[in-house]
Amino acid sequence: MKRIWMIGLALVAGAQEFVVFPNPGETPPAQLKRYLNRIGAEQLRARDSELAQVRTREDMERRKKMIREKILRLVGGLPDYRGPLNTKQAGTLRHDDYRIEKIVYESLPGFFVPANVYVPLQGAGPFPAILNPVGHGAAGKASEREIAVGLVKKGFIVLKYDPIGQGERLQYYDPDLKASKVGGPTDEHTHAGGHTMLIGDNVARYRIWDGMRGIDYLLTRKDVDANRIGCTGCSGGGTLTTYISALDERVKVAAPSCYMNSWQEMLEGPGPQDGEQSLPRFLAEGLNFGDYVELFAPKPWLNASTIEDFFPLEGARQTFEEARRIYSLYGAEERLGWYVGPGGHGVPRPSREAIYAWFVKWLKNGEGDRNEAALDLDAAEELLVTPTGQVSDSLGGETVFTINKKRAAQLMQARQAASGARLVSDVRQVAAIAVEPGGPAPRVKVHSSVDREGYRLDVISIETEGGIRLPGLLAVPAGDARKPALLIADATPNQTLAQPGGDVDELARAGRVVLVVKPRGIPETPQAPARSSPVAGHGAAALAHVVGKTLAGMRAEDIIRAVDFLGARADVDPSKLAAAGRGALGVALLHAAVVDQRIREVVLQDTLALYRLAIERPLHRGLYDVALPGVLLKYDLDDLLAALAPRPVTVVAPVDQLGVPMLAREFRQLCGKAPDARVVQRGALRGLLR
């Protein structure tokens, strides 16, 4: 036991020799978050300066047009379908003072939305109606029913429906498992967001549209007053309440719960949330939470928070204070409210009663009281609309994946082939690459060195830009003559890459300068196995996207700056500079090589073959590490491979959208645009370089 303990201690000590940033606050992921937060903070300050110039109603009306255009563009626009809802009844549940109608409607052809309609049995219609989207609970419309029952008892018709990925509407349902193949509701949303993002859309467009079509349904009912439509929901339902109310003029009163905040607080707090809550370029376009409220002005808006919510209360306060100034321009301060209830994330009874009071005041002329009556909740099973409890095996029809696949085919068919300078421009724009090759050499710090047979191995860090220092290794063979060089972008821990007998060791002893870099955000040390999630990596990608950056693009910039370092060395032959990338970093390298002609040879290993595989196939894994918003409107990875010709390119064990290795013949069949690329299944780097 003592021997085992001593060996373990020695391994840990050896690993620590290669760690450049042991301080948790200085790790590469911490650096990346701090860097992106700084950009976001600057964008928010610029927005505040613009908003400060809004001093009249006319100023605000002009700003509203701009806000609306931006939000719609960022979600990919809304569907233009206004065909029949094809509503079908599936039964009724009766209570003394209300009934629940079980229905299904089509928000798009074959895109079925199961819903419950709570209808008062007392009083005379037409009644005011409330659209009640739900939060991220797995039960969908069967969750958060207290507020629906409370409202129907006060004389409101309430529509609760299953959002995608929840309740009876799982988008990735496995009938054998009777569960989603990708995880819970947020995973379902974010996974679907991967498909839509690649063509410049956001999954929010479908979630918003379901709600708007729900309003269409309400307006088909003779017992609904079309001039008295409200909307309320909590958490993810608060998100939808915010989006739908801001974008659909038919909503007259809004009351989102546990969602409204400010990005100033979100950046330093919980960060970006799931797929529909993190719109790429949102901050870069000069937007914040308050813009949704201000787009709704001067109609009545109540923001409901809770004192112990994980969404920062200070952010809700900031947005309320900002919106209050805008409402004052309309002389409508009394139409903006903020209620803070007790407890954590959710809608406790005091918050529900504040929402009742808000809707009674503005949709019923104050006729009614805020107090919640005794609630009688049906069993969740009684609320099911479909025979099996899932649309997929009861009704079939479309999913976000199938709809997006058809839409992608149309958009990609219209894409013009790009090559040469135009492709380089597209790559720069889509990946957000601003760095120009050939800049001054970045600063490099040597943290430790060891002499080995025929070469010196340095543990280094490279400062590619302010606040970003990349951990790496530099192997320098003996002698002053110019030597061929290889840049390796690899997430494998440096202590593994530096082992005697490995690629770095063999190449350096063979006389090649070898630089290993971990582009920004890549941890130095082995990480504990993460929860097996198809959407792992979404958080860092979403933070980059909201400020107008991309992970692949920033990492491509880091590779270009590393080439600047090698190119400035007197012992490197710039005509013999190759680069190798593994996994997601292979995609970053591919983008860097298209922009930087100094990279004379490229080796990609375990790297995604094509973006469009995540459009054509329903499941993906690791996509957020490499995904670029709107990339398939401009190019795919095989276009980049073709653009590297006549430079040598070797593709080692390419993988599909799930990270599963592809056969060489499958790769060649799918990537016919790059016939000159050599495809192999395995091999050491020394033998792969030409």
Condensed to tens digits (0 to 9), the pLDDT of residues 22-36 reads 999 999 999 999 999
Q: Determine the pLDDT at residue 686.
A: 85
Average pLDDT over residues 453-458: 96
pLDDT score for 529? 54
Closest CA to 486 of 611, 602, 318, 347: 602
Q: Tens digit of pLDDT for each residue in 6-21? A: 333 333 344 567 899 9
pLDDT at 3 over 70: no
Q: Which tens digit of pLDDT belongs to each residue from 278-291? A: 999 999 999 999 99
Q: What are phi and psi of 296, to 5 degrees?
A: -80, -20
Euclidean distance between CA atoms 400 and 172, whole angstroms: 10
Please name the residue that has the structure tokens 């204070």: 321
The pLDDT of residue 464 is above 50: yes
What pLDDT, in 10s, does the model give residues 375-405?
A: 989 999 999 999 999 999 999 999 999 999 9
664 neighbors 681 (Cβ within 8 angstroms): yes
pTM, 2 dp? 0.94
- Which residue has better confidence, 394 or 527? 394
* Nearest alpha carbon to residue 302 among 115, 57, 546, 130: 130
Count of CB atoms situated within 10 Å of the CB of 542: 24
With a pLDDT cut of 90, the percent of the chain lying above it is: 90
Quote the CA–CA distance of 551 and 462 in Å, as a whole number: 18
pLDDT higher than 70, residue 301: yes
Mean pLDDT of 494-509: 95
Q: Which residue has the higher pLDDT, 326 or 9?
A: 326
- Residue 424 is encoded by which pair of tokens? 């380089």
> What is d(CA 136, CA 164) in angstroms, rounded to the nearest whole number?
10
Residues 163-209: tens digit of each pLDDT? 999 999 999 999 999 999 999 999 999 999 999 999 999 999 999 99
The pLDDT tens digits of the residues spanning 587-606 come to: 999 999 999 999 999 999 99
Which residue would you say has higher pLDDT here, 443 or 525?
443
Per residue in 89-144, pLDDT (tens digit) is 999 999 999 999 999 999 999 999 999 999 999 998 899 999 999 999 999 999 99
Which structural domains are found in the chain, ordered by start? 88-410 (3.40.50.1820), 415-688 (3.40.50.1820)
CA distance 580 to 588: 11
Pairing state between β 224-234 and 483-489: unpaired
Quick one: pLDDT at residue 673? 84
Q: Say how many C-beta atoms besides its own lie within 10 A of residue 84's C-beta.
A: 10
Q: How would residue 39 be classed by pLDDT, with cut points 50, 70 and 90?
A: very high
For 47, phi and psi rounded to 5 degrees? -65, -45
* Residues belonging to the chain: 690
Mean pLDDT of 615-640: 96
pLDDT, residue 675, reads 81
What is the residue-averaged pLDDT of the chain?
94
Q: How far apart are CA 663 and CA 609, in angstroms?
A: 11
**Token representation of residue 48:** 């505040």
